[in-house]
Every structure is written in C-alpha cells, then in structure tokens.
Amino acid sequence: MWKSIKDWPSLTELFFGKGKSPSDEPKRARSKGKFVGDDKSTADVNEAWEGGKAPTKKKAKAKKPATTKKAVVKATKPKVKKATADAKPKAKKAPATRGTRKDYALDKKLKDIKKNNGMMPVKKK
C-alpha cells in the first residue's frame, strides 16, 4: 500500500520522464562560444553536434483540410407599424443596471417628479 521514499521518482524523472535526463539530449558543438558548422565532406559524421549525431527531427502534424465557409444570412430589420391617432405608445422599461448611490438618488427624484405631474416635491423643514 505505501511506498518507501526511495521508490519515489526524482524531480528529473518527473519533468523529463523515466530514464531520460537533460544531459542525454544532443548539444550543439561550439568553438570559442560560437556554433560549429557541419563539414559536408564527411557524410557519416555531423561535426555541428557533440557526439557526431544530430537529433531526429519530429514529424510535422498533418494539416486539416480547409473548411468551406457557410453563407452568411443578412438580418433584416422588422417592419415597424405606424402608430394611429388612437393608439398610445407603450412605455419602454429601462434596462436594470447597477449604479452608484447618486444614480439611485436621481432615479428617486425623477419618480417623485413624475408622480407630481412635473412638479418638484416640496420638503417641509
């Protein structure tokens, strides 16, 4: 059930996998701090890499075929009916928004004005 601490993987094994270490990866050969190029006359040895072998290149992922674009349907505006003399326009509700105390106070004053038919309410002292 329990494993001893000795059996736990090291940090190197956790990051790079078991059996691999960062030193196993091939390194570029350097001369005075600059990279060394490959000598084309020696086909079996790659002088640009330490150990004489270059790392294997990873295969490129296959690209997905391009999908065709679907036709875009234009949205048309709904036709507005003209108001007749008898019909009253409907009042639109304001969207519910969060505001500051100042906004709430102004809204309250506007409601009071509407109740009093456009007259400001008089506060008694």
pTM above 0.95, yes or no: no
Give the torsion sign (CA, 109, 112, 118, 122).
Answer: negative
Q: What is the pLDDT of residue 100?
A: 72
Contacts of 52 by beta carbon, 8 Å cutoff, 6+ apart = 45, 46
Q: Which of 34, 64, 62, 28 is nearest to 47 (CA)?
A: 28
3-class DSSP state for residue 49?
strand
Regions of the chain short of the pLDDT cut 50? none
- Among all chains, which residue has been given the structure tokens 């601490």? 5
